[in-house]
């Protein structure tokens, strides 16, 4: 029941907010980075490196190799990000020896082409956002976010690390798998996630439109190898809708009278001036004005047929009505296309969810198999324990029997070799008798011997 409820919650969350793929700012989302007809290139992206170019494979881009050191690599989009709300999803992997180092930079900057292969430490006066992933702090790694509106020269700053507005610990080296970094900007703020977990978020950061997206990496003498598997940019509005909205506005302004044309041009000039105010926006800065289209077409009012006295008036009315019908059909087509794309995306999300569910179910099957193996190992260990106790008891009994037999045989041997007490007593008494007899004989001989007088 809990599993089904969580699945329903995920499905509801996926259907609540639809995001569209921005293909001109993405690569690696279709399973192949370099196309088969043009290997070694990434469509809509510029790749550069020092001293050599990054290696572009079918499934990944190696920005910095394992050797030699002091290498730099960069991938920059050739098209700007024209959406206000977006998600940038980057999968990368860093691997190298124990004391190797380097840094990976994820950029959303206005002057991306001028930045090239630079990192945050020598970027100079850039305008935008950069996420830096390195071994700062000596605790296994850290992710930090930096903002600049072009007023601070990072290459000349005495302590660049103090300029970070957000950070979190991130052990990214030698994981054996790609790590996921996700940047999300919406109307309620900015968020950075690592492998689905929030690193930091704030409501005081809002990046304007027109920035370029890029990834750079640099390494020291003992380098890490930074590999990028994908960079996918999605938005809550599709590029087709933005382009269609601008073209429909042009059509409507051409069909209005001169006064409406003048008003439309004035509004267009206001929008252009508001959009041209670039730079990184902070909480205290002025919010960027984004023009919105309330309608894709204008309805033509109904009129009586008697009001048209000339063929020119009739033709103009017919022309206006046909044009309004075309606008309505175009709006319906765009709406249907948008809903169709949303349905496809939701279908793909549901397929991904079911694939995840199937993988979890496969894990459950594996858990049952593991449980059976653990029970079998437990029984085997119990049997081995019982057999070991029995063998130890048998060995102990056999040792006790052998020692008892050895002691008995040794006692018998000692008893046999020891002489009897009677013999000893007889020897002692005999010796005393001989000594007494000798003494008596000596006395008698001395008594019978002639006495000598002087």
pLDDT over threshold 60, residue 244: no
Q: Does residue 197 form part of some domain? A: yes
Range of the domain at 368: 309-376
Domain boundary among 376, 392, 422: 376
User: CATH no. for residue 133?
Assistant: 2.60.120.200
Q: Quick one: pLDDT band at residue 78, thresholds 50, 70, 90?
A: very high
| For residue 235, pLDDT beyond 50 | yes
Q: Does some domain include residue 214?
A: yes
Of 432 and 277, more confident: 432
pLDDT at 293 over 70: no
pLDDT recorded at residue 331: 81
- Share above pLDDT 90 across residues of the chain, in percent, rounded to a whole number: 39
Does pLDDT of 261 surpass 80?
Answer: no
Q: Is the pLDDT assigned to residue 46 strictly greater than 90?
A: yes
**Residue 6 to residues 2, 9, 200, Cα–Cα distance (Å):** 6, 5, 25
pLDDT at 284: 32
- pLDDT per residue as tens digits for the range 100-123: 889 999 999 998 878 999 999 999
- pLDDT given at position 302: 64
Q: CA angle, 111 as apex, 106 and 113 as ends, to 5°?
A: 80
Please tell me whether residues 333 and 191 are part of one structural domain: no
Task: Choose the weakest-confidence range: 54-58, 131-135, 260-264.
Answer: 260-264
Do 221 and 314 have their domain in common?
no
Same domain, 25 and 153: yes
Q: What is the pLDDT of residues 209-219, one digit of tens each?
A: 999 999 999 99
State the burial class of residue 124 (Cβ atoms within 10 Å of its Cβ: 0-12, 13-18, 19+): middle
pLDDT digits (tens, 9 = 90+) for 390-445: 999 999 999 999 999 999 888 888 877 766 677 778 888 999 999 999 998 888 88
Of 376, 394, 429, which closes a domain?
376
pLDDT (0 to 100) of residue 234: 93
**Does residue 171 fall inside a structural domain?**
yes
pLDDT tens per residue, range 5-39: 443 443 444 444 567 889 899 998 877 888 777 78
In a domain, 89, yes or no: yes
Question: Which residues fall within 8 angstroms of residue 242, CB to CB, at 6 or more apart?
Answer: 82, 83
- 297 falls in which pLDDT band (50, 70, 90)? very low
Tell me the average pLDDT of the chain. 80
62 CB contacts (<8 Å, ≥6 apart)?
54, 55, 73, 225, 226, 227
Indicate if 230 and 327 belong to the same structural domain. Answer: no
Confidence check: pLDDT of 332 > 80: yes
pLDDT given at position 107: 95
Instruction: Please report the pLDDT score of residue 19 as a whole number.
Output: 77
> Could you write out the DSSP letters of every residue in 289-311?
P----S-SS-PPPP--GGG--SH
For residue 440, give the 3-state DSSP assignment. Answer: helix
> What's the N-to-C CA distance of the chain in angstroms?
143
| Cα–Cα distances in angstroms (integers) from residue 259 to residues 255, 266, 267, 382, in the given order | 11, 11, 12, 95
Kindly report which listed range (40-54, 256-270, 316-330, 351-365) carries the lowest average pLDDT score.
Answer: 256-270
Residue 212 and residue 68 in one domain: yes
Q: Are residues 214 and 344 in the same domain?
A: no
- Residues 27 and 233: their CA atoms lie apart, in Å, by 9
Q: What percent of the chain has pLDDT over 70?
A: 78
Residue 272's pLDDT is 34
Cα–Cα distance measured from residue 430 to residue 426, given in angstroms and rounded to the nearest whole number: 6
Distance between CA 208 and CA 112 in Å, rounded? 14
Domain count of the chain?
2
**Could you tell me if 33 and 151 lie in one domain?**
yes
Q: What pLDDT does 132 receive?
A: 95
Q: What is the pLDDT of residue 11?
A: 41
Domain-ending residue, one of 213, 238, 263: 238
């Amino acid at each position: 029941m809990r599993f089904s409820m969580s699945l329903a919650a995920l499905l509801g969350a996926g259907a609540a907010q639809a995001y569209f793929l921005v293909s001109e700012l993405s690569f690696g989302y279709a399973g192949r980075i370099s196309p088969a007809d043009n290997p070694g290139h990434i469509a809509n992206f510029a790749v550069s490196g020092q001293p050599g170019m990054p290696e572009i494979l079918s499934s990944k881009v190696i920005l910095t190799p394992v050797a030699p050191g002091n290498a730099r690599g960069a991938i920059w989009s050739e098209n700007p990000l024209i959406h206000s709300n977006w998600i940038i999803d980057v999968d990368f992997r860093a691997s190298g020896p124990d004391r190797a180092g380097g840094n990976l930079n994820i950029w959303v900057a206005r002057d991306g082409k001028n930045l090239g292969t630079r990192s945050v430490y020598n970027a100079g006066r850039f305008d935008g956002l950069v996420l830096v992933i390195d071994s700062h702090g000596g605790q296994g790694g850290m992710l930090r976010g930096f903002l600049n509106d072009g007023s601070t020269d990072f290459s000349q700053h005495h302590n660049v690390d103090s300029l970070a507005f957000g950070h979190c610990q991130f052990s990214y080296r030698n994981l054996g798998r790609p790590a996921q970094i996700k940047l999300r900007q919406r109307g309620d703020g900015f968020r950075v996630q690592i492998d689905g977990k929030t690193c930091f978020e704030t409501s005081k950061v809002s990046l304007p439109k027109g920035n370029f997206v890029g990834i750079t990496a640099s390494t020291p003498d003992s380098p890490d190898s930074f590999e990028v598997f994908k960079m996918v940019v999605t938005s809550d509005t599709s590029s087709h809708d933005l382009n269609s909205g601008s073209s429909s506005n042009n059509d409507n302004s051409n069909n209005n009278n001169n006064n409406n044309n003048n008003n439309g041009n004035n509004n267009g000039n206001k929008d252009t001036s508001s959009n041209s105010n670039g730079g990184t926006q902070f909480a205290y800065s002025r919010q960027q004005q984004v023009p919105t289209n309330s309608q894709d077409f204008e309805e033509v009012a109904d009129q009586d047929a008697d009001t048209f006295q000339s063929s020119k008036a009739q033709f103009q009315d017919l022309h206006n009505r046909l044009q309004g019908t075309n606008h309505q059909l175009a709006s319906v087509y765009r709406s249907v296309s948008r809903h169709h794309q949303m349905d496809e995306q939701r279908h793909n999300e549901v397929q991904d969810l079911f694939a995840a569910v199937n993988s979890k179910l496969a894990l459950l099957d594996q858990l049952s198999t593991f449980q059976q193996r653990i029970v079998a190992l437990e029984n085997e260990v119990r049997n081995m324990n019982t057999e070991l106790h029995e063998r130890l008891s048998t060995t102990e009994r056999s040792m006790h029997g052998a020692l008892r037999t050895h002691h008995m045989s040794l006692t018998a041997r000692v008893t046999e070799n020891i002489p009897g007490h009677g013999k000893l007593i007889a020897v002692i008494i005999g010796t005393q008798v001989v000594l007494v007899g000798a003494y008596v004989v000596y006395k008698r001989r001395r008594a019978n011997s002639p006495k000598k007088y002087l």
